[in-house]
Amino acid sequence: MPKADKLDPDNNPWHWLASDLRIWRLERNLSQAQLADVLRVDDSTVSNYESGTTNLSKEKAEILDQIWRTRGHFARLRRYAESAHDPNWFHAYTKYEQQADVISIYSALVIHALFQTEQYARALIEGAQVVEDVEAAVAIRMERQELWNRVDPPELRIFVRQSVLEDPVGGPEIMRAQLAHLLDLSHRRRVVVRALPKYKAAHAGVDGSFTILEVGRKEHAWSAAVEGGRLVSDPAKIRKYRLRFGLIGDDALSRDSTRSLLRELMEAVK
C-alpha cells in the first residue's frame, strides 16, 4: 500500500481523503499522537489513515467534521470514496480474505477462487485471454488457498449455481476433477457447499457473484466486476448483502442433495 508521499489523490478518492486528513492536521499544528487522542485510536492508526493503508471510518470522519467544523467535508468525501472505483480494492479484499474468520460466497458464473483446482484456474485464466503471464496469475490464485492450511481455518460457506457446475471449463477431465475437489471440500469441517438448482431461475442472486468476509467484529463485502470490483465495509450495506445471501440459501439445495448432484454431474461429464 502507498506511503503518504506516494498517494495519488487526483485518481484515487481514498488517497484524496488521506491527503486531506494530513493537510488539515498539519494546518492545526497537531501531531499524529494528538489527533489519535482526539479520535480515540492509537498513533499507528492515524499514520495508517494518512498513508492510505487504513480507510477512515464513517464514525471518525463525523468526529473530524464536528471538532474541526468542516461542515461535513470528511463524511462527504468518505461517501464519495466508498461509492467510487478504487484500484486498491482487490488488494484490500485479499488481505481481509486471509484474515477472515467466516467467508460467505455466492458464485454465479464460475467456481470461487478458493475452491478452484489449479487446472480449472489455469483454464479460466487462459480462456479469458487478458493476462500475459498466466502461470504467475495461477500461482497468485493458488497462494490465496493457503488459508485452508491455517491452524484455525475460516468457516467457509459457498452457494453456487448449478449451471456453473455444468460448464465444461477446460474440458471433461479438468471439470470432473474440479467437481471431485468441490465434493471433497464439502466434507471438511466448517465447510458448507450448496448448489442453487437450475429450476430456481429467478432468485436473489441474479445480479451476480459476491463474497462476505467476517474479520473479527468487522464485515466486508466484495462484488466482482469487469476490470476489478467493489469492496464495501458500510454496516448498512453489508446488511443488504446478508439479506441477499440468506434468500439465496432459502432457494439452495441441502448439503446432502448438493453432494448427490456433484456425483451425478461427475458421472455425466464426457
For each of the chain's 270 residues, which pLDDT tens digit applies?
445 567 888 878 888 999 999 999 999 999 999 999 999 999 899 999 999 888 899 999 999 999 999 999 999 999 888 776 566 678 888 999 999 999 999 999 999 999 999 999 999 999 988 889 999 999 999 999 999 999 999 999 999 999 999 999 999 999 999 999 999 999 999 999 999 999 999 999 999 999 999 999 899 999 987 766 788 888 889 999 999 999 999 999 999 999 999 999 999 987
Phi, psi dihedrals of residue 159, rounded to the nearest 5°: -105, 130
Neighbours of 223 (CB within 10 A): 17
Residues facing 104 on adjacent strands? 157, 212
Phi (first) and psi of residue 220, to 5 degrees: -140, 145
Is residue 142 a contact partner of residue 134, using CB atoms and an 8 Å limit? no
Where do the CATH 3.30.870 domains begin and end in the chain? Answer: 89-268
User: What pLDDT was estimated at residue 90?
Assistant: 82
**What are the C-alpha distances in Å from 113 to residues 4, 57, 94, 117?**
32, 29, 11, 9
- Would you state the cell numbers that stand for residue 68, as one nine-digit string? 474541526
Residues 6+ apart with CB under 8 A from 33: 43, 46
- The CATH 1.10.260.40 portion of the chain extends over 4-83
What are 264's three cell numbers?
451425478
Instruction: Give dist(CA 97, CA 91) in Å, integer.
Output: 10
The pLDDT assigned to 255 comes to 98
Residue 106 β-bridge partners: 159, 210
Instruction: Identify the pLDDT of residue 8.
Output: 80
Domain 4-83, CATH homologous superfamily name and number: lambda repressor-like DNA-binding domains (1.10.260.40)
Kindly tell me the sign of the dihedral angle through the C-alpha atoms of 113, 117, 118, 120.
negative
Q: Using DSSP bridges, classify how beta strands 155-161 and 210-215 pair: parallel, antiparallel or unpaired.
A: unpaired
Domain 89-268 matching CATH 3.30.870: the answer reads: yes
**pLDDT at 1 (0 to 100):** 45
3-class secondary-structure state, position 194: strand
- The dihedrals phi and psi of 230, each to the nearest 5 degrees, come to -140, 130
Q: And the C-alpha cell for 247?
A: 434468500
Is the pTM higher than 0.85? The answer reads no
Quote the radius of gyration of the chain (alpha carbons, Å).
Answer: 21
Please provide the size of the chain in residues.
270
**Packed helices 134-144 and 89-99: angle between N→C axes, nearest 10 degrees:** 40
User: pLDDT at position 87, please?
Assistant: 60
What distance lies between CA 12 and its chain's CA centroid? Answer: 19
**Residue in 68, 65, 39 with CA at minimum distance from that of residue 54:** 39
d(CA 153, CA 30): 42
Contact between residue 220 and residue 232 where contact means Cβ atoms under 8 Å apart: yes
The three-state secondary structure class of 112 is coil
